[in-house]
C-alpha cells in the first residue's frame, strides 16, 4: 500500500546541562558512525513523546527531566517513489549522564556522551562514507538517503545550539 501522507519522525537531542554534553548512538548498519536517536511517531503520541521513547529504546535513556518544544521541523527530500518524511527535533534535558544498564537495542548499538563540537564532528564523518558509496542515487536526481539524514541531524544539533546557547 502506497502512503500518501508523510511519515512523522521524532529526533532526540539528549543533553546534560551539568556536564555540557549530548548523547549519540551508533547506526545499526554502520557501527562506527554516530547519529541522534530517532524514529517514527506512533498514533496517539506527540513528537516529543516519541523522541523520549526512541531515546529510551535506542540508547537506554531514562525519562528526561524536560522535553523541549520542537527545536526544528524539517522536511528532507525523499527519493522518488519513497514516502515523504517530516522530522521533529526535541531536546531532552537530563539531570545526569546516568543511563539504563540494559536497553532494547543494546546488542545493536553503542552509546556515548559528546561535547556539542565532538557530536557535530562525529555526525560529519558520514561524508566520506557517502562519497565511497558512489553517486548512483544522485544520477537519477534523487538525494542520497544518508546525506539527507546526516544533514537533518546536523540541523537538529544546530537548532539545539541556537536555542540553548551552547558553544561549538
- Whether 57 is a known active-site residue: answer yes
Task: Give the Cα separation of 34 and 39 in Å (integer).
Answer: 15
Inter-axis angle of helices 116-124 and 145-164, to 10 degrees? 170
CA distances, 63 to each of 5, 48, 86, 88, 91 (Å): 30, 12, 24, 19, 13
Single out the catalytic residue among 45, 54, 57, 93. 57
> Cell numbers 537548532 correspond to what residue?
159
Residues marked active site are found at 57
Amino acid at each position: 500500500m502506497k502512503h500518501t501522507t508523510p511519515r512523522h519522525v521524532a529526533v532526540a537531542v539528549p543533553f546534560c546541562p551539568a556536564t555540557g554534553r549530548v548523547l549519540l548512538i551508533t547506526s545499526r548498519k554502520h557501527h562506527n558512525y554516530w547519529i541522534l536517536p530517532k524514529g517514527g511517531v506512533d498514533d496517539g503520541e506527540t513528537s516529543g513523546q516519541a523522541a523520549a521513547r526512541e531515546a529510551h529504546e535506542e540508547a537506554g535513556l531514562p525519562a528526561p527531566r524536560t522535553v523541549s518544544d520542537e527545536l526544528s521541523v524539517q522536511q528532507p527530500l525523499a527519493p522518488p517513489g519513497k514516502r515523504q518524511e517530516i522530522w521533529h527535533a526535541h531536546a531532552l534535558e537530563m539531570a545526569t549522564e546516568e543511563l539504563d544498564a540494559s536497553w532494547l537495542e543494546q546488542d545493536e548499538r553503542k552509546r556515548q556522551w559528546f561535547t556539542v563540537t565532538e557530536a557535530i564532528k562525529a555526525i560529519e564523518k558520514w561524508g566520506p562514507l557517502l562519497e565511497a558509496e558512489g553517486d548512483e542515487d544522485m544520477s537519477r536526481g534523487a538525494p542520497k538517503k544518508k546525506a539527507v539524514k546526516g544533514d537533518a541531524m546536523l540541523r537538529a544539533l544546530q537548532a539545539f545550539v541556537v536555542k540553548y546557547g551552547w558553544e561549538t
